């Protein structure tokens, strides 16, 4: 018995049946119908089959598969979209279109050898990218080209890192699946807010460790940083050591808070109360605002007298009609907290100037805030 899903396909030319481990970060089941595709497969035929749920296992030149995927993406993007009747409707239609697009484009498959080599012409060396995301390979597997390109992109980001001006221009190197501080305005908010104490801080959901690193640089002597995700903890550990801050920051696997109280507790939870479509979206989508609620509800019990909770929250959900400002204020109130101050910043990300983006209206209005919360 194996503890991973298996993809089965037949090779009509040879009349043989094959199996391999199926890899899908989103946890999608292996496609039931699989056909063989190669350099002779046209984009129209590939796209039609993918839309019908037939996966195409690639046997041709690797770079041609990349081009085929681009051609399939263009066809997916040409699909007519329903006009939205409200921002919430626009968001729901956008998520639906994204998930349908992901399903269709995820139908072009690449076989990987047990050591992650790819036995196709002009194939890149993806050993490092795959080992970083999946761990050492143990058996032949099959993955969608779309997921594989994501892994390669993440590997490049991890190598290059993201420059953080608030960390004196030092770089944070995000790992695959870990929330990247690429839109760094929120980091600037944390860099500027007056510290209530330099003795101790908790960083709830540390991700790459960027905020823990910033607090350490600002002179906070000890920081306890938590995350539930092992990839995040490994990533934070690596970043903090690279920055020479490991002795100030203790990393712990925990659901929200560590034990005890601190004069400063910070949290940058996912900001959209909606269902993530894959584990790597969990840093953005938080069904029913679970982490936000958990942070607010547990804050009073983890703050020292006169301590401050810093909640970093974009109001994007409010502009989409997913959660109202009143609902957020009611959650703060119900948790026995009061707002001691709020600093705002406008995100500068490129999509905020892309008028063809279906969520453009909400993006241009978006403001990210650092809410300074105290016990009532």
Ligand X SMILES: C[S@@+](CC[C@H](N)C(=O)[O-])C[C@H]1O[C@@H](n2cnc3c(N)ncnc32)[C@H](O)[C@@H]1O
| Cα gap 165→171, rounded to integer Å | 9
Spatial neighbors of 282 by CB under 8 A, at least 6 apart, are 229, 270, 276
Strand 16-23 with 170-172, pairing: unpaired
Q: How many residues contact ligand X, by CB under 6 A?
A: 20
- What is the per-residue binding string for ligand X in 124-163, x denoting contact by CB under 6 A? ----------------------------------------
| Interface with ligand X (CB under 6 A), residue from 132, 229, 308, 318 | 229
| Cα gap 117→131, rounded to integer Å | 11
273 binds ligand X (CB under 6 A): no
- Cβ proximity to ligand X, 9 vs 179, nearer residue: 179
| Cα gap 148→155, rounded to integer Å | 11
Spatial neighbors of 23 by CB under 8 A, at least 6 apart, are 112, 134, 141, 142, 143, 147
Spatial neighbors of 333 by CB under 8 A, at least 6 apart, are none
Question: Smallest distance from the beta carbon of 161 to ligand X, in angstroms?
Answer: 14
DSSP-H helix ranges across the chain? 43-51, 62-77, 87-105, 127-134, 145-160, 185-192, 210-217, 230-242, 290-299, 316-320, 325-334, 360-365
| Cα gap 176→363, rounded to integer Å | 25
**First-to-last CA distance in the chain?**
56
196 binds ligand X (CB under 6 A): no
Stretch that binds ligand X, among 20-28, 137-145, 205-213, 320-328 (CB under 6 A): 205-213
- What is the per-residue binding string for ligand X in 168-187, x denoting contact by CB under 6 A? -----------x-x------
207 binds ligand X (CB under 6 A): yes
270 binds ligand X (CB under 6 A): yes
Residues 8-67 that bind ligand X (CB under 6 A): none
Stretch that binds ligand X, among 56-64, 78-86, 91-99, 201-209 (CB under 6 A): 201-209
Spatial neighbors of 162 by CB under 8 A, at least 6 apart, are 171, 172, 173, 174, 180, 181, 182, 184
Stretch that binds ligand X, among 124-132, 225-233, 237-245, 298-306 (CB under 6 A): 225-233
Question: Smallest distance from the beta carbon of 226 to ligand X, in angstroms?
Answer: 5
206 binds ligand X (CB under 6 A): yes
Question: Smallest distance from the beta carbon of 298 to ligand X, in angstroms?
Answer: 10
Phi, psi of 344 (to 5 degrees): -115, 155
265 binds ligand X (CB under 6 A): no
Stretch that binds ligand X, among 141-149, 160-168, 266-274, 363-371 (CB under 6 A): 266-274
| Cα gap 48→92, rounded to integer Å | 25
Question: Smallest distance from the beta carbon of 256 to ligand X, in angstroms?
Answer: 4
- Cβ proximity to ligand X, 313 vs 362, nearer residue: 313
Strand 54-58 with 108-112, pairing: parallel
72 binds ligand X (CB under 6 A): no
Of 273, 272, 271, 374, give the one whose Cα is nearest residue 313. 271
- Cβ proximity to ligand X, 275 vs 376, nearer residue: 275
- Cβ proximity to ligand X, 255 vs 344, nearer residue: 255
Tokens standing for 185? 């305005």
314 binds ligand X (CB under 6 A): no
211 binds ligand X (CB under 6 A): yes
Which residues make up the interface to ligand X (CB under 6 A)? 179, 181, 205-208, 210-211, 226-229, 232, 255-256, 268-270, 283, 291
């Amino acid at each position: 018995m194996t503890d991973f899903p298996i993809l089965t396909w037949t090779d009509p030319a040879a009349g043989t049946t094959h199996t391999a481990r199926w890899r899908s970060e989103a946890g999608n089941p292996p496609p039931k119908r699989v056909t063989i595709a190669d350099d002779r497969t046209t984009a129209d035929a590939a796209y039609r089959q993918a839309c019908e749920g037939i996966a195409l296992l690639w046997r041709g030149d690797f770079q041609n598969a990349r081009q085929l995927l681009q051609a399939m993406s263009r066809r997916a993007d040409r699909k007519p979209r329903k006009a939205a009747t409200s921002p919430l409707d626009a968001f729901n239609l956008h998520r639906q279109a994204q998930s349908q697009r992901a399903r269709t484009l995820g139908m072009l498959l690449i076989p990987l050898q047990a050591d992650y080599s790819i036995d196709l012409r002009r194939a890149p060396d993806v050993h490092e990218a795959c080992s970083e995301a999946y761990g050492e390979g143990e058996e032949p597997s099959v993955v969608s080209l779309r997921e594989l390109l994501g892994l390669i992109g993440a590997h490049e980001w991890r190598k290059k890192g993201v420059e953080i001006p608030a960390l004196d221009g030092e770089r944070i190197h995000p790992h695959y699946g870990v929330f990247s501080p690429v839109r760094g305005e929120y980091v600037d908010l944390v860099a500027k807010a007056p510290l209530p104490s330099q003795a101790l801080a908790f960083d709830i959901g540390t991700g790459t460790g960027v905020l823990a690193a910033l607090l350490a640089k600002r002179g906070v002597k000890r920081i306890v940083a938590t995350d539930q995700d092992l990839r995040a903890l490994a990533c934070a550990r690596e970043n903090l050591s690279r920055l020479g801050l490991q002795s100030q920051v203790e990393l712990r696997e925990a659901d929200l808070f560590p034990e005890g109280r601190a004069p400063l507790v910070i949290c940058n939870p996912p900001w959209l109360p909606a269902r993530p479509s894959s584990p790597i979206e969990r840093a953005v989508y938080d069904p029913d605002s679970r982490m936000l609620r958990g942070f607010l509800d547990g804050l009073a019990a983890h703050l020292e007298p006169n301590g401050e909770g810093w909640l970093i929250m974009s109001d994007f959900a409010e502009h989409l009609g997913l959660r109202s400002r009143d609902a957020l204020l009611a959650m703060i109130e119900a948790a026995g907290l009061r707002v001691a101050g709020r600093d705002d910043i406008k995100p500068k990300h490129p999509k905020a100037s892309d008028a063809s983006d279906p969520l453009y209206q909400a993006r241009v209005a978006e403001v990210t805030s650092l809410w300074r919360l105290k016990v009532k």
